[in-house]
Chains A and B, each alone.
Chain A
């Protein structure tokens, strides 16, 4: 199974990059899960948690507020306005 190449950035720094099996983002019209081989999508984000699940099942979460996510050929770019400094769980 292919993996997602995730780049998670805020306006002034890169928060997380790497491979992931699944990403869950809080889109403005409801939570959205992203799996490999999803169709190209560009979505606006609202307030909530971004959850990145690695291949070994480890999940990391971050509280975010506003931004957008783009998904194209298993490359996921999450760009957010504000993100909590520390991951809430690991």
Chain B
């Protein structure tokens, strides 16, 4: 076997090995999407309940007062950005897209004269900022997929404390979240949303707002609202985290599918090349034999 053939065979073997790994990764991701999506759906009842509850308090008393509801809370010019990325790579454009969106948002805020303060989840985002010598204000990395709920609660605690702080070096005026929305396993997109100030959906604006019964509040409407608002924020953050997690898996599945296909193309290509190399070798050997025989025949020697 010639050197060329050996080289092609080596490449084919390595591509086959990689293909197996990619295929396995793809299947793991595919299995995790449905689990992650189920977890997103599991948070929906809580989110619905809390949204409905806030809506009913809002319609009940018009003079609501809560620091998160004030539309103009400008005092320090600091705006928090919660960025959600993945811990691991091999997920295609998942993390880079989210990071790019966060950077766009940060630039926009800077143009408005505000100071963006980064809260980053995931090692990819954390290293991005550390590498550029402007580390995130707070970073959660690495994190565990099974503990997203607890992580969400912790993040909510930290940002709530910063939002309510009276210390001008810590206080945040606004809070944005950049995560990846999970539409379906074929469609996810990065999105930036404003979490604080909270936009209470007013019934008069939409026209088709649900009508809430006249609730009795225990202990009273004010106290209920004080309890509900931080929980609303937390449930939003948990939801964004979980949607991002599901998107990460979907994105990884897609990337690994492409990688598997590419490995297959490589294998096919190198098989062709190896075949033609083998054929060329055979042809050459034949030519040499025939040429040798011709040369002997032409030399005039009779005996063999």
Contact = CB atoms under 8 A, between A and B. Distances in A.
B9 interface: no
Secondary structure dominating the interface of B? helix
Contact of B224 (A43, A66, A72): A43
Interface of B: 39, 42-43, 45-46, 49-50, 52-53, 56-57, 148-149, 152-153, 213-219, 223-224, 227-228, 231, 234-235, 238, 242
B11 to A, nearest CB: 47
A85 to B, nearest CB: 12
A42 B218 contact: yes
A4 interface: no
Interface residues of A, number: 26
A14 B223 CA distance: 25
Contacts of A11: 43, 46, 149, 152-153, 231, 234-235, 238
Q: Which of B45, B152, B223 has the most CB of A within 10 A?
A: B45
Nearest to A45: B227
A79 B227 CA distance: 12
B47 to A, nearest CB: 9
Contact of A12 (B39, B216, B219, B224): B39
Contacts of A9: 45-46, 49
A67 B234 CA distance: 12
Given A70-B52, A79-B46, 5 more contacts: A11-B152, A11-B231, A44-B224, A67-B231, A73-B213
A41 B220 CA distance: 11
Contacts of B57: 42
Q: Which of A9, A42, A67, A68 has the most CB of B within 10 A?
A: A42
